A and B are shown apart, each in its own frame.
Chain A
C-alpha cells in the first residue's frame, strides 16, 4: 500500500467520532470517580485517542484487539457496546464481564476484545496465539495488540516478537509510546533510540509514526493491517503520543517537567484534528459538534443504565472459576 494513500472523508469523520467518544468517556468516568459514584483505580488514555481510532477503522468486527489496563480507548474504538461497557467499569452484573473484570480487565468477546491484561507485556504472547488460530483456520483475521513503551523492556515483548516473526503471524504490535513507563521517562528506562528500532532484531518491519496525527496513523495502520491480512507477517508499529492524566488517576505527574506537559497539552491532538478537519473542508463546525453531542447523549444513556444496574450476586464468586458443573 502506498504511503501517500489518503483516508476518505467518511473515514476521517469516523476517526473523529471514535476519538471524541473516547474523550467523552474518559472525562465522564473521572467525574464519576470524583463524585464518589465509583471506587476504582483508573488509567486514563487522554491524549492517546487518535491511535486506536485510526487503527480501528481498518479492522473488521472479526479481528481481535488485545489491550491493557489503560485500554478504554482501544475497547471503545473496537466498538464495544456502551451500556455493558460502562456497567463493567462500574462493577455491575450487567457489565460485559458481569462486573468480574472491572476497569483494568474489560473484555467483550463479541466485539473482538478477548483479553485485557493488567500485566505489562503479557498481551503480546497471547496475541500470537489468537493469530495462530486465524492462520490455521485460514481466515484473514488480524490481531492488534496494544501496549506501552514500558512493555518493550519486559521479556514477553521479545519472546512474542520473535515467535511472531518465525511463525509469520498476522499480528500488529502497537506500542503506544507516551514517553513514560509509569513514572519513568523513556530515556531512563529504555536503551533503544526508538521502540521501532527493536523490530530489526526480529527481522520484521518497525514503523515509527506520529500517533497524534490521524492521517499518518491511519496510513501506517492500514499498511500494517494489509500486510498482516496478506499473510506477510507481523509489524511493530510505534505510535508516539503523550499521556495527559498521569499513570493512574490521582497521580499528579510531578515527574514530568512543567514545560513538557504544557507543550503537550497545547498540542492536544483532538482540537488540532478538529481544526484541521474544518480547515480542509471535510466537515463544518456544526457537523463536528453534532458528532460530539451524539456521543455525549449515547454515553449518558449508558451511564444511567450502569448506575441503575445491580451489583453481581455474591454467588458469582463460585461461578466461572471452571466450567459449570465441573469441580474447581
Chain B
C-alpha cells in the first residue's frame, strides 16, 4: 500500500494542496492576490491553481496590482469573520503594504482591547538564485518579527509548508508566511493529509553533540549539506530548522545550545539586526559563561541583492561561508 508519506511533492504543490484543503474545510477561508484565479493562470507560481474553478471567484479573487488594497481587503475581511489568505507575489512588494500589515493587521486586536482580531495569512515568496535582482529577492522577516502582534513562519520543506499553512490559516492572528522561490520546485516528502505543523515549534533535522546549526527556509538545505560534510570528519552537528521565526522556539534552541556549547545561525537575510542577532542575544543571555564560543551568524552580504550570476552566488550565505563560520566556532 502506498501511503502519502512515500509520495513526492514540491512546495508549490504542497501550498496548493493546503489551500484546497482549508477552503474545503471552512467556507470562511478566502484567497486574494494578483493573478491568482484560474482565468489569470492560477498564480504566477501556480500555488493557487484550481482554487477559483473549485470554490468560485467570490472566494478566490484576482486583484489589481495594488498591495495596500490587497492587504487592506484581507484585514477588513478578517475583521468581518473571514479567514483571508492574501498573496503578495514577492516579499519586496510587502513594503508597499507595510501600513496595513504593521499599523493595522498587527495591532487591531490590541488597540481594540480584544474586541477584534485579524486572522489572516500573508503568503509571500522571495530568495536569490533566479537573477531577479535588487527588488525581488530580499528576505525581510526581521522587519515583521520586530512587530508585536505578527507571527512569522518560513518553512523549508513541502510537508512543513503544508502543515504550517493550515496552522496559519486557522490561527486567530495575522501570520506572515514566507516561501522561497527556488524551493518551490524541489520535490520532497509529501505531507500527511490534514496534519498541521504547530506554529512556534522548531524541528531537529539531525541530532549531534559538537555544534548546533540553526537555519530556516532555503539556507537550511545548505546547512544540511555542510553538516553532511562535517560528519565525514567525525564532527556531529545538530541541525535545527526553525520553521517559525516569531515566536521563537527558545526551548528547543536552548536545549541544543546547552548540549553542544557552540552555535551557528545561518539565514539568507542580512546579518546586521537580523534574526541571527536576536537568537544570539537570547542564547548569550541564558547561557552566559556556558557557551564554548560566541554564537556565530552567517547571512547575505551587506548589499542589495545583485543581478550578475557570480555576484548573486557570492551574496547568499554560501556553503563555504557557513563552513568557515562553523570551523571558527569549533576552534
Residues of A within 8 A of B (CB): 64, 95-101, 105, 107-109, 114-115, 117-119, 122, 124-137, 143, 155-156, 159-160, 162-163, 166-167, 319-323, 326-328
Question: Separation in Å of the A169 CB from the closest CB of chain B?
Answer: 9
B48-101 contacts to A (CB < 8 Å): 58-59, 61, 63-64, 66, 68-69, 71-82, 84, 99-100
- Tell me the complex Cα distance, A72–B61, Å: 34
* B69 contacts A126, C-beta separation under 8 Å: no
Contact A133 B80 (CB under 8 A): yes
How many of B's residues come within 8 Å of A, CB to CB?
44
Chain B residue nearest to A108 in the complex (CB): B115
Instruction: Pull 7 A–B residue pairs with CB atoms less than 8 Å apart, ordered by A.
Output: A107-B112, A115-B76, A125-B100, A126-B73, A129-B72, A135-B58, A322-B109
B68 and A156: CB pair below 8 A?
Answer: yes
Residue-wise interface mask of B (168-202) relative to A, using a CB-CB cutoff of 8 A (1 in contact, 0 not):
00011100000000000000000000000000100
- Residues of A near B112 (CB, < 8 A) are 96-97, 100-101, 105, 107, 109, 114, 320
CB contact between A322 and one of B58, B80, B151 (< 8 Å): that residue: B151
Complex: chain A residue closest to B32, CB-CB: A132
Q: Are A160 and B109 in contact (CB under 8 A)?
A: no
CA distance A100 to B108 in the complex (A): 10
Q: Given the known A-B contacts A100-B111, A322-B151, are A107 and B73 also in contact in the complex, defined by CB atoms under 8 Å?
A: no
Once the chains bind, are B103 and A119 in contact (CB under 8 Å)? yes
Contact between B111 and A105, CB atoms less than 8 A apart: yes
Structural contact, B82 and A136, CB atoms closer than 8 A: yes
B110 within 8 A of A: yes
Find chain A residues with CB under 8 A from B64 CB. 159, 162-163, 166
A133 adjacent to B109 (CB under 8 Å)? no
Q: How far is the CB of B265 from chain A (nearest CB, A)?
A: 20
B99 CB contacts on chain A under 8 angstroms: 119, 122, 156
Q: Which of B72, B84, B114, B200 contacts A320 (CB 8 A)?
A: B114
Query: Does the CB pair B108–A160 fall under 8 Å?
Result: no
5 A-B pairs with the lowest CB-CB distances in the bound complex, closest first: A129-B76, A125-B72, A133-B80, A98-B113, A97-B113
**Given known A117-B104, A163-B66, contact A323–B76 (CB-CB < 8 A):** no
Interface residues of B, Cβ cutoff 8 Å to A: 30, 58-59, 61, 63-64, 66, 68-69, 71-82, 84, 99-100, 103-104, 108-117, 148-149, 151, 171-173, 200, 247
Which residue of the partner chain B has the closest CB to A156? B68
A115 touches B108 (CB 8 A): yes
- Write out the residue numbers on chain A whose beta carbons fall within 8 Å of the beta carbon of B111: 97, 100-101, 105, 107
Judge whether A100 and B113 touch: CB under 8 Å: yes
A159 touches B68 (CB 8 A): yes
Of chain B, the residue at the smallest CB distance from A135 is B58
Q: Is the CB of A114 within 8 A of B72?
A: no
A134 to B58, CA, bound (A): 11
Q: What residue in chain B is nearest A166 (Cβ atoms)? A: B64
A126 to B61, CA, bound (A): 16
Closest chain A residue, CB of each to CB of B97: A125
The interface residues of chain A lying within 8 Å CB-to-CB of B148 are: 321, 328
Known contacts A107-B112, A119-B103: A129-B79 contact under CB 8 Å: yes
B210 CB → nearest A CB, Å:
30
Q: A321 and B79: CB pair below 8 A? A: no
Which residues of the other chain, A, contact B61 by a CB distance below 8 angstroms?
Answer: 132, 167
Contact A109 B115 (CB under 8 A): yes
Shortest A127–chain B CB gap in Å is 6
Q: Is the CB of A128 within 8 A of B73?
A: yes
Chain A contacts for B114, CB-based, 8 A: 98, 319-320
**What is the distance, in angstroms, from A274's C-beta to the closest C-beta of chain B?**
36
A134 to B247, Cβ gap below 8 A? Answer: no
> Which residues of A have CB within 8 Å of B66?
159, 162-163
Docked-complex contact A328 and B247, CB < 8 angstroms: yes
Does B116 contact A114, Cβ atoms closer than 8 Å?
yes
CA distance A60 to B66 in the complex (A): 31
B104 proximity list for chain A (CB < 8 A): 115, 117, 119, 122, 126
- Neighbouring A residues of B76 by C-beta, 8 Å: 115, 125-133, 143
CA distance A114 to B59 in the complex (A): 22
- For B71, the chain A residues whose CB sits under 8 A away are 125
Report Cα–Cα, A118/B99, bound state, in Å.
11
B200: which A residues are within 8 A, CB to CB?
Answer: 327
Among A129, A131, A136, residue most surrounded by chain B Cβ atoms (within 10 Å): A129
Per the bound structure, the CA–CA distance linking A119 and B80 in Å amounts to 20
Q: Tell me the minimal C-beta distance from A153 to chain B in angstroms.
A: 14
Q: A105 to B107: give the CA distance in the assembly, Å.
A: 11
Determine the distance from Cα of A162 to Cα of B64 in the docked complex, in whole angstroms. Answer: 8
